[in-house]
Amino acid sequence: PPSSTPDNTSNATSPVPQSAAVKNVTTPSSRNPRKRKDVDELIVESLKSIRERREEKRGRTEEPLDEAGHFGHQVAATLRRFTNRQKAIAKLQIQQVLVSVEFPP
């Protein structure tokens, strides 16, 4: 009688015998190890570059917010709570107010 162990390659539900499936498997490193190394080096270089830019940005001293900056943050916090439609209306109306104050009729 046929055994029901996983090692049975004559199982009717398996379209490819296990021994054939293992022979056809290739990994990225087995296809072209040099290309894989080049890709790995590019990834490492990119990550180093990102880290350096992030550290430079952190090192910069940002000017403290003035009254307008604080107001802008308050407006942004309020907009984040709105639906997309409410945001669109609010932004349009804010822009209209700013234009009318900057360029009175």
Decide which of 2 and 42 is more confident: 42
pTM assigned to the model: 0.42
Predicted pLDDT at 37:
74
CA–CA distance from 33 to each of 2, 8, 26, 29, 77 (Å)? 42, 34, 12, 5, 50
**Residues 4-61 pLDDT 10s:** 445 444 445 545 555 555 555 555 555 676 777 788 888 889 998 998 888 887 766 6
In the block, which residue shows the tokens 């390659």? 9
